[in-house]
Amino acid sequence: TCPQCHRSASLDQRGLRGFQRNRLLEAIVQRYQQGRAAAAAAAKCQLCDRSPPEPAAVQCEQCEVLYCASCQLRCHPARGPFAKHRLVPPPAHPGAPGGGGDGGGKGAGGGRKLPTCAEHDLENYSMYCVSCRSPVCYQCLEEGKHSKHDVKALGAMWKQHKAQLSQALNGVSDKAKEAKEFLVQLKNLLQQIQENGLDYEACLVAQCDALVDALTRQKAKLLTKVTKEREHKLKVVWDQINHCTLKLRQSTGLMEYCLEVIKENDPSGFLQISDALIKRVQVSQEQWVKGALEPKVSAEFDLTLDSEPLLQSIHQLDFIQMKCRVPVSVPPVPLLQLEKCCTRNNSVTLAWRMPPLSHNPVEGYILELDDGDGGQFREVYVGKETLCTIDGLHFNSTYNARVKAFNSSGVGPYSKTVILQTSDVAWFTFDPSSAHRDIVLSNDNQTATCNSYDDRVVLGTAAFSKGVHYWELHVDRYDNHPDPAFGIARINVVKDMMLGKDDKAWAMYVDNNRSWFMHCNSHTNRTEGGVSKGATVGVLLDLNKHNLTFYINGQQQGPPAFENIEGVFMPALSLNRNVQVTLHTGLEVP
- As a whole number of angstroms, the distance between CA 350 and CA 415 comes to 12
Check whether 351 has a pLDDT greater than 80: yes
Instruction: Say what the pLDDT of residue 372 is.
Output: 86
pLDDT single digits (tens) 227-242 = 888 888 898 889 888 8
- As a whole number of angstroms, the distance between CA 149 and CA 301 comes to 67
Instruction: Say what the pLDDT of residue 324 is.
Output: 40
Q: What percent of the chain has a predicted confidence (pLDDT) above 70?
A: 88
Instruction: Say what the pLDDT of residue 486 is.
Output: 96
Check whether 342 has a pLDDT greater than 50: yes
169 with 252: CB under 8 angstroms? no
pLDDT-based confidence at residue 105 (cuts at 50, 70, 90): very low
The answer for residues whose C-beta is within 8 angstroms of residue 221's C-beta and 6 or more apart is none
Among 396, 415, 399, residue whose Cα is nearest residue 348? 399
- As a whole number of angstroms, the distance between CA 42 and CA 96 comes to 10
pLDDT single digits (tens) 176-217 = 888 898 888 888 888 888 888 887 787 777 777 766 666 677
Instruction: Say what the pLDDT of residue 576 is.
Output: 94
Q: Which fold has domain 432-584?
A: Jelly Rolls (2.60.120)
Check whether 388 has a pLDDT greater than 70: yes
Check whether 9 has a pLDDT greater than 60: yes
pLDDT-based confidence at residue 487 (cuts at 50, 70, 90): very high
Looking at residue 90, what DSSP letter applies?
P
Domain boundaries, the chain: 22-91, 158-287, 335-421, 432-584
**Which long-range CB contacts under 8 A does 65-72 form with residues at least 24 apart?**
66/90, 71/45, 71/47
pLDDT single digits (tens) 154-179 = 888 888 888 888 888 888 888 888 88
CA–CA distances in Å: residue 114 to residues 108, 110, 130, 434 = 8, 10, 21, 40
CA dihedral 219, 224, 225, 231 (to 10 degrees): 150
Query: What mean pLDDT do residues 31-47 have?
Result: 76
Q: Which fold has domain 335-421?
A: Immunoglobulin-like (2.60.40)
Query: What mean pLDDT do residues 469-474 have?
Result: 95
- As a whole number of angstroms, the distance between CA 481 and CA 80 comes to 90
* 397, amino acid identity: S
Q: Chain-centre distance of CA 501, in angstroms?
A: 37
- As a whole number of angstroms, the distance between CA 461 and CA 347 comes to 13
459 with 430: CB under 8 angstroms? yes
Query: What mean pLDDT do residues 147-157 have?
Result: 81
Of 228-232, 341-345, 579-583, which has the strongest mean pLDDT?
Answer: 579-583
CA–CA distances in Å: residue 284 to residues 172, 181, 255 = 7, 18, 10
Of 1-5, 67-71, 134-138, 576-580, which has the strongest mean pLDDT?
Answer: 576-580
Instruction: Say what the pLDDT of residue 570 is.
Output: 93
Of 92-101, 308-317, 332-341, which has the strongest mean pLDDT?
Answer: 332-341
Which phi and psi angles does 336 have, rounded to 5°? Answer: -75, 135
Check whether 146 has a pLDDT greater than 90: no
Instruction: Say what the pLDDT of residue 211 is.
Output: 62
Which phi and psi angles does 87 have, rounded to 5°? Answer: -100, 130
HSE, CB side, 13 Å, CA atoms: give it for residue 173. Answer: 11
Query: What mean pLDDT do residues 455-477 have?
Result: 93
- As a whole number of angstroms, the distance between CA 366 and CA 350 comes to 12
Check whether 307 has a pLDDT greater than 80: no
- As a whole number of angstroms, the distance between CA 200 and CA 300 comes to 10
- The mean pLDDT of the chain is 83
Check whether 275 has a pLDDT greater than 70: yes
Check whether 304 has a pLDDT greater than 60: yes
Higher pLDDT, 451 or 39: 451
**b/e burial code for range 416-445 (CB count within 10 A of at least 16 → b):** eebebebbebbebbbbeebbbebbbbbeeb
* 166, amino acid identity: S
Of 268-282, 311-325, 528-542, which has the strongest mean pLDDT?
Answer: 528-542
464 with 569: CB under 8 angstroms? yes
Check whether 96 has a pLDDT greater than 60: no
pLDDT-based confidence at residue 500 (cuts at 50, 70, 90): very high
pLDDT single digits (tens) 539-571 = 999 988 899 999 999 888 878 878 888 888 999
- Give the CATH class of 22-91: few secondary structures
Of 119-128, 238-247, 535-544, which has the strongest mean pLDDT?
Answer: 535-544
- List the single range of 5-19, 110-124, 344-358 with lowest mean pLDDT: 110-124
365 with 406: CB under 8 angstroms? yes
Check whether 99 has a pLDDT greater than 50: no
Of 419-428, 439-448, 461-470, which has the strongest mean pLDDT?
Answer: 439-448
Instruction: Say what the pLDDT of residue 502 is.
Output: 93
- As a whole number of angstroms, the distance between CA 46 and CA 49 comes to 9
Put residue 263 in one of left, alpha, beta given phi > 0 → left and psi -120 to 50 → alpha. Answer: alpha
Query: What mean pLDDT do residues 40-50 have?
Result: 79
Check whether 102 has a pLDDT greater than 50: no
**b/e burial code for range 10-19 (CB count within 10 A of at least 16 → b):** eeeeeeeeee
Instruction: Say what the pLDDT of residue 358 is.
Output: 73
CA–CA distances in Å: residue 447 to residues 91, 312, 406, 541 = 54, 84, 48, 21
